[in-house]
């Protein structure tokens, strides 16, 4: 028996009158055929309250609905992921949380997922600990990604259904995400677009570079403030290649301060111990309600100290 369920109530509109229950579940809730079938495996998985009725009653998937009806669907899932992510007591910075997702402000120089070298100190470990302490029974599901050195906004879905819908938004979401970076040197242009393919050299696992055989990569940047030998810039991406901002800014001669991979020629990183990159702004739609959400995350102290004086 599944350990957790997300209960969703839908009020049927005039435009939806006459549709079958299955059509509402697949069209409005974006449930797959497998998920719809699974809902019906349980006696209260799909129920309806007709206009004027006081209680819900069972309904078949082939039955039609009327305007004003309230359809209640329980989306079940297994949540036993013991051994996958070990909970830790590390704190997390919660920007937003609801029944379907949690948005965190990731610290810089922290990995998102557990690995051989970071078995207990990843952001996922910290989130698993938060779930445990607050009595929430969720699998840790990341939407999108951030490099270890990058700080800022990152979404985790709380259930399989929300994860699927948010993952389908990722392409558009990346274009509604903005980064702040501190780059070396004096920018000649206050704004620009870098359109240069990025690839991986054979036999080199970590480092990416601009190369003709690479995948399309497009980065837009705009100067926020110029300092003597570094600048604060705001960036957005049309594509989401690994290390894209770091590679592109280095390619045009302005690597990020503190970037040990792509900024080795920087003479003075002004105390930055990581690549100075922060996911500062994110817009997306709540996966169940469809409500537009927009968030900002302030610069972390290591970057803020260089631009806030």
Tell me the C-alpha distance between 13 and 29, whole Å: 14
Contact 71, 21 (CB under 8 A): yes
Please enumerate in sequence order all residues whose Cβ is within 8 A of that of 41, keeping only pairs 6 or more positions apart, or say none. Answer: 76
Q: What is the DSSP letter of 166?
A: H
**Which residue, among 166, 101, 94, 163, has the nearest Cα to 130 in the 3D structure?**
94
HEC per residue, 277-291: EEEEEEEEECCCCCC
Alpha carbons within 13 A on the beta-carbon side of 253: 6
Q: What is the DSSP string of 51-97?
A: TT-SS-EE--TTSB--TT-EEEEEEEE----TTTS--------EEEE
Which residues are catalytically annotated? 147
Tell me the C-alpha distance between 201 and 280, whole Å: 30
Tell me the C-alpha distance between 139 and 98, whole Å: 15
Residue 114 bridge partners (DSSP) = none
């Amino acid at each position: 028996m599944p350990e957790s369920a997300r209960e969703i109530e839908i009020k049927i509109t005039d435009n939806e009158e006459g549709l079958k229950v299955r059509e509402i579940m697949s069209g409005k809730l974006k449930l797959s055929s497998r998920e719809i079938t699974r809902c019906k495996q349980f006696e209260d998985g799909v129920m309806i309250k007709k206009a004027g009725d006081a209680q819900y009653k069972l309904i078949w998937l082939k039955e039609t609905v009327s305007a004003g009806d309230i359809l209640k669907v329980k989306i079940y899932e297994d949540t036993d992921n013991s051994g996958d992510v070990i909970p830790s007591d590390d704190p997390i910075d919660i920007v937003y949380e609801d029944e379907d997702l949690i948005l965190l402000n990731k610290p810089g120089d922290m990995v998102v997922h557990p690995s051989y070298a970071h078995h207990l100190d990843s952001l996922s470990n910290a989130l698993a600990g938060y779930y445990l302490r607050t009595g929430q029974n969720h699998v840790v599901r990341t939407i999108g990604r951030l490099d270890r050195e990058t700080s800022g906004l990152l979404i985790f879905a709380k259930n399989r259904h929300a994860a699927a819908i948010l993952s389908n938004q990722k392409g558009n979401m990346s274009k509604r995400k903005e980064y702040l970076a501190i780059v070396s040197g004096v920018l000649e242009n206050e704004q620009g677009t870098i359109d240069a393919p990025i690839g991986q050299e054979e036999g080199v696992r970590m480092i990416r570079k601009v190369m003709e055989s690479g995948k399309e990569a497009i980065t837009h940047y705009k100067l926020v403030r110029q300092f003597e030998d570094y600048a604060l810039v705001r960036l957005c991406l049309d594509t989401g290649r690994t290390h894209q901002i770091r590679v592109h800014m280095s390619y045009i001669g302005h690597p990020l301060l503190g970037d040990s991979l792509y900024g080795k020629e920087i003479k003075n990183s002004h105390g930055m111990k990581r690549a100075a990159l922060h996911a500062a702004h994110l817009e997306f739609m709540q996966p169940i309600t469809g409500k537009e959400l927009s968030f900002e995350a302030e610069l972390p102290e290591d970057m803020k100290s260089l631009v806030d004086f």
